[in-house]
Amino acid sequence: MLLAAMLAGGWLWLDNNRPEVKPKLHEIMPARVEASIVARQDVQPVTRVTGRLVPARITRLNFEISGRLTERHVEVGQQVTTGDVLMRLDGSDLENAVAEKQSRYEMEKAAVGRDRKLLQLIGQQITLLQREISRQEKLKKTSLSTQARVDEVKQRLLQQRTEQGRLKYSVETAESRLRLQELALTKAKRDLQRTVLKAPFRSVVNAVWAEVGEVITPATNVVELVDRDNLDLAAEVTSQLASALKIGQTVTVRVEEKQFQGKLIALAFNPDPGTLTHSIKIRLEQHRDLIPGQLAEAFLPGRVIKNTLTVPITAVLHEDGESFVFRINGDQVFRIPVSVQGRDGERLLIDQKHSSIKAGDRIVATDVAALEDGQKVVIGE
């Protein structure tokens, strides 16, 4: 027992008098970084906008007259070209109307020719009757004629002059009467043409709402056509960008990693009161490998900015709505706030008035998210 107590006491004394061992601190190795120089240059920022491709034209067609549908030549998805017959109404009554108006026009035309000839003949007859009256007056003086005979010739002259007046009116109004008959014939022919519905442009049939045998009215849409050659990209841009754009300018559009050249065809002058943005429309012509609904990106060049500061995109740290770069000072980096005002390719434009960097400063070019303010670094080769 005594021995056990002495051993226990010895261990306790050793434990209490053991020297304190301090942990060995290892110095953090400096981070290896790549440096970039803050540059000053003239740049033209390019803004990327996205949207869906839509057909340049979507048209719903209807007949202009009523009638029973007798022919339907299209189905959904069918491609048609300009002038292709899509549908036809029963035109038998209208064909009869055209034949009737044609006959009336020909009859009126013949009647006008007849009246012109009669007017010439009656003029000659009136001349003869006037001479006959003069002759009868002379014969009456010699008792070779009577007053009754003179009056008879005068009566005939009056009748001829009455007929001459009627014929003159007929001839003078002939052009107007022929014009009326011609207009009636033209309308009848036009109504007959309206029984045929044709494609107004190259397109794809997107919907059909009529069947053979149905009675169609002018208010009924019967087919929807979609432009198959031209597509539009609609987007919204800021007023600053809108002021740099011009109608007709060429715009690069990217669809599924392929680039196409489009044309700016519409630019709203007045911004939307809710979003304060301007609507634009970019036309892509004759690109049959594209289809409506595809997501597209348009790259819109802005105004040239003279003598501005630029840094690599990868050099800027975005945190809590603020932007920073890490400026290299000796073997340390320091976090500096900057104000980004735009983008030009792979570089960001820096507003020097609201930033604490200047041209020629060395900054960290990549992997800035892993750095701390005041951290030591080693510049990589």
Q: Are residues 293 and 237 in the same domain?
A: yes
- Three-state secondary-structure class, residue 362: strand
Question: Structural domain of residue 315, as residue ranges?
Answer: 31-45+305-379
Same domain, yes or no: 285 and 144: no
The answer to whether residue 25 scores a pLDDT higher than 50 is no
Residues of the chain with pLDDT > 70, as a percent, come to: 92
Looking at 172, 193, 214, the residue that finishes a domain is: 193
Task: Return the minimum-mean-pLDDT range out of 110-119, 128-137, 255-264, 291-300.
Answer: 128-137
pLDDT at 145 over 50: yes
Do residues 204 and 189 both lie within one domain? no
Pick the range with the lowest mean pLDDT from 12-16, 113-117, 157-161, 250-254: 12-16
Q: Classify residue 11: in a domain, yes or no.
A: no
Tell me the mean pLDDT in the region 315-339.
92
- What is the CATH number for 180? 1.10.287
Q: Is the pLDDT of residue 103 over 60?
A: yes
The model's pTM is 0.62
- pLDDT at residue number 80: 95
pLDDT band at 152 (very low <50, low <70, confident <90, very high): confident
Q: Which residue has the higher pLDDT, 139 or 364?
A: 364
Q: Count of alpha carbons within 13 Å of 337, Cβ hemisphere only?
A: 7
* 167-224 pLDDT per residue, tens: 888 888 888 889 999 999 999 999 999 999 999 999 999 999 999 999 999 989 999 9
Residues 205 and 73 in one domain: yes
Structure tokens at 117: 């000839």
Rounded CA gap, 207 and 154, in Å? 79
Residues 345 and 287 in one domain: no
- Convert the pLDDT of each residue in 254-300 to its tens digit: 998 899 999 999 999 999 999 999 999 999 998 778 888 999 999 99
Q: What would the two tokens of residue 300 be? A: 């819109």
Average pLDDT for residues 304-320, to the nearest whole number?
90
Domain shared by 76 and 219, yes or no: yes
How does DSSP assign 129-181, residue by residue?
Answer: HHHHHHHHHHHHHTTSS-HHHHHHHHHHHHHHHHHHHHHHHHHHTHHHHHHHH
Looking at the structure, tell me whether residues 156 and 213 fall in a common domain: no
Average pLDDT of the residues in 344-364: 87
Is residue 98 within 8 A of residue 194, CB to CB? The reply is no
- 323 shares its domain with 290: no
What is the total count of domains within the chain? 4
Same domain for 182 and 101: yes
